[in-house]
Amino acid sequence: MQSLLDPAILFFALGVFAGLVRSNLEMPTAISKFLSIYLLMALGLKGGFALAASGLTPSVASSLGLAVLLAVVVPLVGYVLLRRVLSGYSAAAVAATYGSVSAVTFVTATQYLESQQIAYGGYMAAAMALMESPAIILAVLLANSLRQKQAAVTTQGVGMTDSGAATLGGAGMGSGGAHQGSKRAHNLSVGKILHESFTDGTQLLLLGAMVIGLVTGDAGKAAMQPFSGDLFKGMLCLFLLDMGLSTARNLPAVRKQSPWLLAYAVLAPITHATLALGLAWLAAVPAGDAVLLMVLAASASYIAVPAVVRYAIPEADPSLYISLSLGVTFPLNIVVGIPVYTQAVQRVWGG
């Protein structure tokens, strides 16, 4: 109950309430964008300062390695399960959403750990950055595989309906050329996605700020403390107020989803967090880092991945992955998940 009295959580609840009662309270788009930029910059700086203090230790390396492993396993398992109830394209899109991460959920978790006086490595911001792209890349590869299979089936169908060896040969050459053109288009699409994933503004800002923090060390930390330290909590409260409003706007779309998908939106984060808990325990990851690994594994992207997937997999239904991640999983993690994950780690670690 004490975790619900955190100002950040209460401002999120205020935003949801304001949206549900159809208040005219809103956050200007420019302000929302500024707040997200600020949070990413401050988070990157904190991670860089922490990494400068600790260095690249075996503990740091194991935490980052587990993050990458989770970023690959979670979307692949999610795709296999979702394929039973969704089309291949929508399953890939939803799997990518749940295989990637939510920066706001991660930032909220770091603030919760600080309020509970639980130490964690600031370098976990690098883990968050590493976990954002693999799910997107896997989803695009899965979608391209589906398109190629459909193209092959179509080509076979055309070949079966043609008559005469000359006609069939001509059709085969035409379809082969079309297939090669389609393949080139798919390869180009993957190239674009790879480029966007690794040069995305959020990624560049987060990693760039981390490098700056790493290079400047203690001197940079002292200079930036009023900006990246003192203001951080208030900025997070404002951003969560806006996220509460966005969550409320997505609730009508949530009610239209099937019970199976709603169950996935609730149970998948718990399952992913449990997997992260087991891996962290086996690798002897520090308690605070283990909590953040659970949070990252349980979170779902509602900004970066949907923006890329809409372009890369237009066959998927956007109402699925946006409404589930923002309308169900995000508030579940913010209000309930973070304190539960923390308690689970404390019990397993004996703290």
Tokens coding 149 = 């299979």
Check pLDDT > 60 for residue 177.
no
Check pLDDT > 60 for residue 297.
yes
Beta-carbon count within 10 A of 187 CB: 11
pTM listed for this prediction: 0.79
> How far apart are alpha carbons 330 and 334 in whole angstroms?
6
> How far apart are alpha carbons 168 and 11 in whole angstroms?
67
Tens digit of each residue's pLDDT (9 = 90 or more) over 115-143? 889 998 888 888 888 888 788 888 888 88
3-class DSSP assignment, residue 56: coil
Among candidate residues 308, 341, 295, 284, the one with its CA nearest the CA of residue 57? 284
Q: What pLDDT is recorded for position 180?
A: 40
Tell me the fold of 2-19+28-148+201-349: Na+/H+ antiporter like fold (1.20.1530)
Residue 222, Cα to own-chain centre: how many angstroms?
Answer: 31
Exposed, middle or buried, 202 (CB in 10 Å: 0-12/13-18/19+)? Answer: middle
Q: What pLDDT is recorded for position 274?
A: 96
Q: What pLDDT is recorded for position 308?
A: 77
In the chain, the N- to C-terminal Cα span, in Å, equals 19
> How far apart are alpha carbons 10 and 108 in whole angstroms?
12
Exposed, middle or buried, 176 (CB in 10 Å: 0-12/13-18/19+)? Answer: exposed
Tokens coding 92 = 């890939």
Give mean pLDDT, residues 217-230: 89
DSSP 101-118: --HHHHHHHHHHHHHTT-
Amino acid at 255: R
Tens digit of each residue's pLDDT (9 = 90 or more) over 84-113? 988 889 999 999 999 989 888 998 999 899
Among candidate residues 248, 242, 240, 253, the one with its CA nearest the CA of residue 20? 248
Tens digit of each residue's pLDDT (9 = 90 or more) over 284-293? 999 999 999 9
Whole-number average pLDDT of the chain: 82
Check pLDDT > 50 for residue 186.
no
Domain positions in the chain are: 2-19+28-148+201-349
Check pLDDT > 60 for residue 58.
yes
